Amino acid sequence: MIVNRRIISSLFTTTRSYQVTVVGATSEVGQVLSLLLRSLPLITKLVVHDNKEFTPGVTLDLSQIPSPSRILGLTGEDTLERALKNSDLIIAAGGLSQRPDISEKALLTANSQFIKSIISKLGRSCPIPFVGIVTEPINYLIPMTAEIMRNHGVYDEKKLFGITEIDAIRSQCLYATENNLKANDCYVPVIGGHSDKTIVPLLSQAKPTVEMKEKDLEEFTIKLRNCDGMITKAKRGCIPNLSVAYSSFLFTKSILDALEGSPAKIHAFVDNNDFGTSYFSSLVNLDKNGVKEMVRYSEFSKFECDLIEKSLQQLRKDVSKGRKILELA
């Protein structure tokens, strides 16, 4: 009887173990993200992968942080398939960073190759893991990634995410600063895409409600859209890796919570044709299968309607270009 009770008890107390793989783990974002992920109790195995020769050093550094998860570091293209095997979630955090001195062509060529190298190894994974992409430019790379995944027979539209939570937390902090509020008490939904021409903060839906003049709305939108550039300039050419890594950490936590069966939501750029763009970013409700439904908003202000229309025009161009750069991948 005692043995039976122990067996029954173990059945009810056992929780799932999750493996998360960070590809591009030695990048500016990848290192900070890997550090943050060491603190997540739901992760039992953290795999960090990169092609850089100092990857073992980053792994060693991370291994000396007390954590509930065990860590595995792998280096080189020939170990990528092993890094992805049995992963529940893969975060693509490598490739070139967006900087003023890097051309769009160079960025797309390098980063499309980086993404293809990951997706080409997923064909043997079963079940297909969740894939979150931090690598820029997200407006182009998510449509491209979807096409590559289709070609490899591994596409599940519910499991592919462009991580855009950074836009929401920036909007939250800017709103708090502008209105002398505490950031943790504020919320501003952000929709559209993930670029300086497609990010749309919905200040009419912000909490707590604050009356803002159209000039203030314009200035707020410009600030939000230019955050990357402002931070890179202030950091003397270094990208905003800290806040981007933190937003990717929040994304990871939400995905794992959803896999556990808990209510979860996150801002992400996903397969969605509500506005005729094929892909769209907004707050997304999650379940254990991935995207459950996108949160929809109504009663936009006139300023927001005009902004959305212009953003949609640009987003359609970006998505179309993303699909066409497949040959570069």
- The confidence score (pLDDT) of residue 129 equals 96
Q: Select the more confidently predicted residue: 16 or 309.
A: 309
Q: Are 209 and 252 members of one domain?
A: yes
Q: Are 225 and 157 members of one domain?
A: no
Is 327 inside any structural domain? Answer: no
Q: Is this structure's pTM higher than 0.85? A: yes
Give bridge partners of residue 285 from the DSSP assignment. 265, 293
Q: pLDDT tens across 281-291, in order?
A: 999 999 999 99
Domain boundary among 124, 140, 164: 164
Q: Are 72 and 126 members of one domain?
A: yes
- The confidence score (pLDDT) of residue 11 equals 39
- The confidence score (pLDDT) of residue 3 equals 41
Give bridge partners of residue 163 from the DSSP assignment. 268
Q: Are 180 and 281 members of one domain?
A: yes
Tokens of 133: 């992409």
- The confidence score (pLDDT) of residue 124 equals 67
CB 284 within 8 A of CB 267: yes
Q: pLDDT tens across 47-100, in order?
A: 999 999 999 999 999 999 999 999 999 999 999 999 999 999 999 999 999 888
Helix residue ranges, H only, 138-262: 138-151, 165-178, 214-225, 227-234, 241-259
Q: Are 151 and 169 members of one domain?
A: no
How far is residue 192 from each of residues 41, 135, 195, measured CA to CA in Å?
33, 18, 9
Q: Are 53 and 159 members of one domain?
A: yes
Binding residues for NAD(+): 24-30, 50, 111
User: Residue 9: pLDDT band by 50, 70, 90 thresholds?
Assistant: very low
Q: pLDDT tens across 149-170, in order?
A: 999 889 999 999 999 999 999 9
User: Residue 2: pLDDT band by 50, 70, 90 thresholds?
Assistant: very low
Domain boundary among 117, 142, 164: 164
Is 324 inside any structural domain? Answer: no
- Kindly state the percentage of the chain with pLDDT values over 70: 93
Q: Are 99 and 68 members of one domain?
A: yes
Binding residues: 24-30, 50, 111
CB 259 within 8 A of CB 159: no
Q: Tell me phi and psi for residue 270, to 5 degrees.
A: -135, 175
- The confidence score (pLDDT) of residue 270 equals 99
Indicate which CATH number applies to the domain containing 82: 3.40.50.720
Q: pLDDT tens across 214-242, in order?
A: 999 999 999 999 999 999 999 999 999 99
Is 6 inside any structural domain? Answer: no
Element housing 92 (H / E): strand 89-92
Indicate which CATH number applies to the domain containing 242: 3.90.110.10
- The confidence score (pLDDT) of residue 325 equals 84
The region, left, alpha or beta by phi > 0 then psi within -120 to 50, assigned to residue 111 is alpha
| pLDDT of 15 above 90 | no
Q: Are 171 and 315 members of one domain?
A: yes
User: Residue 16: pLDDT band by 50, 70, 90 thresholds?
Assistant: confident
Q: Are 78 and 194 members of one domain?
A: no
Is 7 inside any structural domain? Answer: no
Q: Tell me phi and psi for residue 274, to 5 degrees.
A: -55, -35
Question: Which range marks the domain in which residue 97 is found?
Answer: 17-164
Residue among 49, 152, 194, 267 flagged as catalytic = 194
- The confidence score (pLDDT) of residue 326 equals 72
Domain boundary among 128, 148, 164: 164
The rounded mean pLDDT for the chain is: 94
Told to judge if 194 belongs to the known catalytic residues of this protein, a careful annotator would answer yes
The two most distant CA atoms of the chain are separated, in Å, by: 73
Q: Are 116 and 194 members of one domain?
A: no
The region, left, alpha or beta by phi > 0 then psi within -120 to 50, assigned to residue 23 is beta
Please state the separation of Cα 261 from the chain's center in Å: 20
